[in-house]
Structure 1
Amino acid sequence: MEPKKNPQADLTKNSSLYFAIGLALVMFIVWRALEYKKYDEDNTYDITQNVDDMLDEEVPMTEQIKTPPPPPPPPAAPEEIAVVEDDVEVEESVIQDTESDEEEEVMDVEDVVEEEVEVDVDVPFSVIEDVPIFPGCEKVKKKGAKALRDCFNEKMNKHIRKHFQYPEIAQEMGIQGRVSVRFVIQKDGSIGQVQMRGPDKNLEKEAARIIGKLPKMTPGKQRGRAVRVPFSLPITFRLQ
C-alpha cells in the first residue's frame, strides 16, 4: 500500500514567518482596542458660569452716613452794656482764729511715769550670777557660786540614782541607751518645760518621771531678779 502523503511537501518550511505575521496582527488589534475612546455628543454647556458675565453685575453702593446738621450760631452780643449799681451790702464772714492767744494760760502736764515691763529671760545655768539652790545646798552658799554649782550637780545625781527604775518592757526587749533631758527651773523654783530625746519611748517616759519628782528649788537670779534657768543632763540606761 502506498502512502498518500507527498514526501516532497514540507509543512514547516515557512512556519516562523507565519507566526511572526500573526503575532504582529494580534498586537495591532489589542493596541487599537486599548486606544479606542467614545465621546458623548452633549452641547449643554452653561454659559452663565463665565467670569466676565459675573463681573458685569451691578453692585449696590454703600449708603452714605448722614451727619447731623451743625448747631445754630450763638446769639450776637448786645451793642450797649448797661451798668447796674450794686446797692446790696454783702456781709463779710469773719474767720475765728483757732490758735491760742498769748494771754491764755497753759496748764502744766504732769510728768509721765515710765513703767518697767518685766521680760522673761532664760539665763543658762553655766553663766547665771546666782545659781538655783537645790534643797540641802543652802549651807554652802557662803562658799561661792562654784560650790553651789558642785552641790547642785551632786544632789541631782543622787536624786536620779534614788528614783531610777529600768522599765521592764525595755529590759525584755534589750533596749538601752542615753536619754537627753532638758528642763527649766522657773522663777518660782518649780520645774517646767521638760523635754526628752532618747532611743526609745519607754526610756523617755522613765526619764520624765524622774525629773517630775524633783523638789522645788530656790530660783536663780540675774542682777538681783529671779529668772528662768534651763538645765540639761543625760540619763543613761544600761543593761547589766
Structure 2
Amino acid sequence: MPTFTGGELALHRYLAANTKYPAEAVRAGLSGTVVMQFIIDEQGRVLNPVVVKSSNPAFNAEATRLVWLMPWWNPGREQGQPVRVRCTLPIVFSFKRAS
C-alpha cells in the first residue's frame, strides 16, 4: 500500500495545517466527514480524487482541494515494483465553538 511521506502522523499534520473550514459550515456550526477515494500512481502522485461519501456537501470542495494539494506519496509496491493503488481517506471536519 502507498504511504504518505512522513507517515500517518505527517498526514494528520498536513490535514490540520491546510484545512480551510468552509465559511458556510462555520456559520451553521457544522461538523462532518467526507470520504475521498483517489489513485496513487507508480511515481506517488495523487490522481482522480472523488468524493464517495459525505455527511454534508459544504465540505466536499475543501476535502477535494486538500487531496489535490497533497505532496507526493511513497507508491505502493507489488513484487518490488511500484504500482497504482486506489486509496480511501476519510477527512473529518470538527467544528468547535470558541468559549
- Name the TM-score, length of structure 1 as normaliser: 0.37
Secondary structure at 2:63 match in 1: helix
| Amino acid across the alignment from 2:46 | I
- Alignment of 1:190 onto 2:51: no
Write 1 or 2 for the structure with the bigger share of strand. 2
Look up the match of 1:180: 35
Structure 2 counterpart of 1:164, from 16, 19, 26 = 19
Aligned length: 95
Map 1:82-97; keep pairs closer than 5 Å.
none
In structure 2, the CA distance between the partners of 1:176 and 1:156, relative to structure 1 (3 Å rule), is same
In the aligned structure 1, how far is the partner of 2:90 from the partner of 2:4? 18
| Shift in alpha-carbon separation, 1:169–1:209, aligned structure 2, 3 A | same
Q: Specify the structure having the higher radius of gyration (Cα).
A: 1
Structure-2 separation of matches of 1:239 and 1:133 = 28
CA drift at 1:133: 4.7
The answer as to 2:80 corresponding to 1:231 is: no
Matched residues in 1 for 2:78 and 2:49: separation? Answer: 22
The yes-or-no answer on 1:217 pairing with 2:70 is no
Residues 15-72 of structure 1, C-alpha deviations (whole Å, 9 max, x = no match): xxxxxxxxxxxxxxxxxxxxxxxxxxxxxxxxxxxxxxxxxxxxxxxxxxxxxxxxxx
Deviation at 1:198, TM superposition (A): 0.9
- Residue 179 of structure 1 and its aligned partner are, at CA, apart by 1.1
Q: List aligned pairs for 1:90-105, cutoff 5 A.
A: none
Structure 1 unpaired stretches of 5+: 1-124, 126-131, 138-151
SS in structure 2 at match of 1:233: strand
CA RMSD of aligned residues (A): 1.7
- Whose relative contact order is higher, 1 or 2, with alpha carbons under 8 Å and at least 6 apart? 2
Match of 1:202 among 58, 62, 68: 58
Unaligned stretches of 5+ residues in structure 2 = none
User: Could you tell me which residue of structure 1 aligns to residue 4 of structure 2?
Assistant: 134
Displacement of 1:176 in angstroms is: 2.0
Q: Matched residues, percent identical?
A: 26
Cα distance between partner residues in 1 of 2:73 and 2:61: 23
Secondary structure of the residue aligned to 1:234 is: strand
Q: Using a 3 Å threshold, how does the CA distance of structure 1 residues 189 and 224 change in structure 2: closer, same or farther?
A: same
Q: Deviations over 1:124-149 (max 9, x none)?
A: x3xxxxxx3533x4xxxxxxxxxxxx
Q: TM-score, normalised by structure 2?
A: 0.81
Q: Secondary structure at the match of 2:67?
A: helix
Specify the alignment match of 1:68 in structure 2. none
